[in-house]
């Protein structure tokens, strides 16, 4: 491989990881409104330079941000409804059912049910006002739709058809709709076409509110770190619209699925079930789909954490009918050619490689050749020997350090549960006094 390039990390800085959904909010979960701005203000006042979020796409199966209905769309649940009230598109009375959910005891299924009719009301009033509608009116909405048409039209049609067919995955839809074709959006039945129009409006709201939040963060000197999952959900507008990007059979089902082999956290490995990319096709197209995905991500964030980096070197391929991840094999990913294409198309892109788990020397070589910083985990540093690479005195300048991951307990709980010898080691290392 080529000589390692210099990463974009040139000085030490600090930050906080806090998903949007965890922030204070009046309607069950956090959103892009006052709670998010307050966090930015706190970070700036405390001297932090970064705020990292989880993926912000519309969540699908299991409500996981890593199983999204779209790699390009934003989650409508993050829309600040208070702004819509101030704009005259919703009333306090119409928002009351969402406020009525008891704090700390939110029934998220009920929240899901109540949310969509309220947002639909805002859409209908926006259209009714025409040029007099807020934020530039229908002209601004049409401009947004035209600018994002390549992904927005198919996403809106996908969501409308999903609603029409009872929420079932697109692989089980009638053949007329299962196979996306150019112009499918124009053939939607009237009720589905109306629902698709609403989803285009919801994305208009999400992206304009996000732009305002990002401007606020920039003004306070806080950079937003986004998160791009390496894989997409099988039941997504991505696989429905761009079938040739993925390794799917004629019916749209995956030929093999993603995961990781057995490790410290799981005896059976992790069976994620995501379809794989057709990397040969992507290489032939100059990785155009991936580059567009990253271009949209950098439209939202200043820095992007690239999930499961090792999958770009080698990935664990599991037979589609396997009940767990033990029966798999390693296959080669796109390697350095992918990152060279990204660098050529997005020269200012700042990426963090999530290089955790079982990492071979080849993965580390690829990361350095691509010029990406890697991740270190503090909690991993104190349960092995004195040469553990997660001990802070071994950190290199191309490291992004986290206290833990989603597989770890909180740091406070971790400290409380440490055995006495380990706790003494941690306390001595950091000079803890209680």
Structure tokens at 289: 């789909």
Buried-state track 400-416, b at ≥16 Cβ within 10 A, e below 16? bebebeeebeeeeebee
Name the token pair of 79: 């829309």
Strand partners, 420: none
Long-range contacts at 247-255 (CB < 8 A, ≥ 24 apart): 247/275, 247/276, 247/277, 247/278, 248/275, 251/171, 252/170, 252/171, 252/178, 252/179, 253/171, 253/320, 254/320, 255/320
Residue closest to 316 by CA, chosen among 261, 255, 253: 261
93 catalytic residue (yes or no): no
Name the active-site residue from 107, 407, 409, 417: 407
Cα–Cα distance, 30 to 75 (Å, whole number): 12
Q: Is 354 a catalytic residue?
A: yes
| Tokens at 139, concatenated | 């002209």
Which one is catalytic: 307, 317, 324, 362? 307
Quick one: residue 135, left, alpha or beta (phi over 0 = left, psi -120 to 50 = alpha)?
left
| Active-site residue flag, 307 | yes
| Residue 263 DSSP label | B
Starting at the earlier edge strand, list the strands of the sheet with 256-260: 270-275, 256-260, 314-319, 329-332
The β-bridge partners of 331 are: 315
CA 268, CA 113: separation in Å to the nearest integer? 36
Sole residue written with tokens 């209908």: 124
Give the residue numbers annotated as catalytic, written as ranges.
Answer: 307, 354, 407
């Amino acid at each position: 491989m080529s000589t390692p390039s210099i990463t974009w990390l040139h000085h030490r800085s600090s930050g906080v990881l806090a998903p949007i959904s965890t922030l204070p909010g009046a309607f069950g979960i956090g959103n892009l409104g006052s709670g998010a701005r307050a966090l930015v203000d706190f970070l700036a006042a405390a001297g932090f330079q970064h705020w990292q979020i989880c993926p912000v796409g519309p969540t699908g199966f299991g409500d996981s941000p890593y199983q999204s209905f779209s790699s390009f769309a934003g989650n409508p649940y993050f829309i600040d409804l208070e702004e819509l009230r101030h704009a005259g598109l919703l009333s306090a009375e119409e928002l009351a059912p969402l406020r009525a959910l008891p704090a700390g005891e939110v029934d998220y299924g009920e929240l899901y049910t109540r949310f969509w009719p309220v947002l639909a009301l805002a859409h209908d009033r926006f259209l009714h006002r025409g040029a007099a509608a807020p934020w530039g009116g229908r002209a601004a909405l049409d401009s947004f739709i035209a600018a994002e048409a390549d992904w927005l039209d198919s996403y809106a049609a996908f969501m409308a058809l999903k609603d029409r067919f009872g929420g079932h995955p697109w692989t089980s839809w009638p053949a007329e709709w299962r196979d996306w074709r150019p112009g499918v959006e124009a053939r939607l039945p009237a009720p589905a076409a109306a629902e698709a129009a609403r989803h285009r409006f919801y994305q208009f709201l999400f992206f304009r509110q996000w732009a305002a939040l990002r401007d606020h963060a920039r003004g306070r000197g806080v950079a937003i770190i986004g998160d791009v999952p390496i894989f997409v959900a099988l039941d997504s507008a991505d696989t429905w619209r761009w079938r040739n990007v993925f390794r799917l059979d004629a019916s749209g089902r995956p030929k093999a699925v993603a995961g990781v082999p057995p490790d410290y956290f799981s005896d059976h490995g992790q069976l994620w079930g995501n379809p794989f990319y057709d990397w040969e096709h992507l290489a032939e197209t100059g990785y155009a789909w991936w580059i567009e995905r990253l271009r949209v991500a950098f439209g939202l964030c200043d820095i992007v954490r690239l999930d499961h980096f090792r999958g770009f070197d080698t990935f664990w391929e599991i037979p589609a009918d396997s009940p767990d991840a033990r029966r798999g094999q390693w296959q080669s990913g796109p390697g350095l050619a992918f990152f060279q294409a990204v660098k050529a198309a997005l020269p200012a892109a700042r990426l963090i490689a999530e290089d955790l788990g079982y990492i071979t020397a080849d993965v580390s070589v690829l990361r350095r050749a691509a010029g990406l910083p890697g991740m270190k985990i503090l909690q991993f540093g104190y349960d092995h020997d004195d040469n553990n690479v997660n001990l802070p005195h071994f950190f290199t300048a191309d490291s992004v350090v986290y206290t833990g991951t989603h597989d770890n307990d909180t740091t406070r709980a971790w400290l409380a549960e440490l055995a006495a010898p380990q706790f003494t080691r941690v306390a001595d290392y950091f000079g803890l006094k209680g």
